Structure 1
Amino acid sequence: MRKITLLLAFIGMMSLQSCTVNEVREDTIDNDTISQVYEVTRSFTPSNNFSTLIAFPQPIFNSDMVLVYRLAGVSGGVDVWKLMPETYFFPDGTLDFGYDFDFTRFDANIFMHGFDLAGVSPNFRVNQVLRIVIVPGFFGKQAATSTSFNDYHEVVRRYGIQNVTKLP
């Protein structure tokens, strides 16, 4: 009986010992990454070669993703944002003009392309409201299958974006 009690005491001490081990757990959720939106109003003219360079207030990370939207109108009191690249065609199917962009860690270059950009209606060239959305790389890994980037409002909801910073 004494041996059984000793055995049970030994097993009890072993099980209690395993409860006191502190495990180091790495947090795999990035809670300090913040998506950002910058808004600018720019015109595309021959004097700026139908392009505009927008400097970011601070450099972004190499892994960050940049999305650019153009305010295309208002429908039912809600802004309609179009994701770039955006292309317009003549009725015969040939290219009329379009918008596109490229970016670095420090800025985004937004530009028009086409054959007669000076002939494009001022409604598409002058005082264009643009929103540049910075999506941190952590989110970009999950984004490919879970978010429609065409819908600006869905992107804002998905990444919890609440403020738009207006840049000069």
Structure 2
Amino acid sequence: MKNILLFLALSSTILFTSCEGDPGPPGEPGGLVYAQVFEANVDFNYIPSENIYETSFIQFPFEVFESDVVLAYRYEGRGDIGNGETADIWTQLPQSVFYLDDTGDVYQYNFNHTFVDIQFTIEGNFDLTNIGDNPDPTTNQIFRIAVVPAEFAKTNPSMDDLLEVMQTDGSQIEKIEL
């Protein structure tokens, strides 16, 4: 009896492991998708009528889609990371800079973009012609631009749609009072 059960177990194992069905349909192309990054060294031009500094428009050196996410960083210099080593320091935009202590004067590095190009600006709450100190914050500025691939969401559900999916009328949602 033991030999018969052993024979059936081995036979069924061989039978099921050697079966192969029709191949399924091909899937979506795979692989890793990485953000693309480039750097731009820019000088700002003052626009007196708007009291802002702005750069020329910088074309993306690769294809960018309207749904992609664009991040920008300003180079701050090098910093000590220990053991006598240094590394680049990058600050994400927008970046506010307090111009003079106790004056409330602030200017801000910012950017705007389309899926074709990017432009950097310096905006402030005072006459920006005064910010040309040592070092000059309007010349020889290095920015790192990262474009992260993304897709627009296929749906944009309303609150009613979400409550329906949750199978609730909203009475079970916790309310927080501040």
CA contact (8 A) 2:74 2:144 kept: yes
Structure 2 residue 67 is the aligned partner of structure 1 residue 63: yes
Letter in 2 for 1:94: G
1:101 equivalent in structure 2: 111
Q: How many residues align?
A: 128
Once the two structures are TM-superposed, the CA of residue 121 in structure 1 deviates from its matched residue by: 3.5
- Identity across matched positions, percent: 28
Note the C-alpha offset of 1:20: 1.5
Where relative contact order (Cα < 8 A, 6+ residues apart) is larger, the structure is: 1
Counterpart selection for 1:112 from 122, 145, 155? 122
Please tell me whether residue 21 in structure 1 is matched to residue 22 in structure 2. Answer: yes
* Paired position in structure 1 for 2:95: 86
Residue type at the aligned position of 1:98? Q
Deviation at 1:27, TM superposition (A): 3.6
Unaligned runs of 5+ in 1: 1-11, 142-168
56-65 or 80-89: which moved more? 56-65
Tell me if the contact between 2:47 and 2:54 (Cα under 8 Å) persists in the aligned partners. no
Query: Of the candidates 39, 50, 53, which is equivalent to residue 50 of structure 1?
Result: 53
The answer to which of 70-79 and 21-30 deviates more is 21-30
1:46 alignment partner, SS class: strand
In structure 2, list runs of 5 or more residues that go unmatched.
1-11, 81-85, 154-178
1:28 CA displacement: 7.2
Bigger mean CA deviation after superposition, 78-87 or 18-27: 18-27
Q: CA deviation at 1:44?
A: 1.9
Deviations 1:104-141 (A, max 9, x none): 01000110001222211442221111111111116x99
Point out the structure with max Rg over C-alpha.
Answer: 2
Calculate the aligned-residue CA RMSD, in Å: 3.2
CA distance in 1 between counterparts of 2:29 and 2:101 reads 51
Q: Deviations over 1:27-55 (max 9, x none)?
A: 47453x44221211112232695111211
Alignment partners' CA distance in 1, 2:53 and 2:92: 18
More helix by share: 1
Is the counterpart of residue 35 in structure 1 residue 45 in structure 2?
Answer: no
Question: Do the aligned partners of 1:58 and 1:106 also contact (CA within 8 Å) in 2?
Answer: no
Give the secondary structure class of the aligned counterpart of 1:19: coil
- CA–CA distance in 2 between the matches of 1:29 and 1:95? 51
Distance in 2, Cα, partners of 1:61 & 1:96: 34
- 8 Å CA contact 1:45, 1:118 repeated in 2: no
Give the distance between the partners of 1:68 and 1:37, measured in 2 at CA. Answer: 10
TM-score by length of 1: 0.62
Which of 127, 132, 135 aligns to 2:140? It is 127
Q: CA deviation at 1:25?
A: 5.2
Given the two structures, how large is their TM-score scaled by the length of structure 2? Answer: 0.59
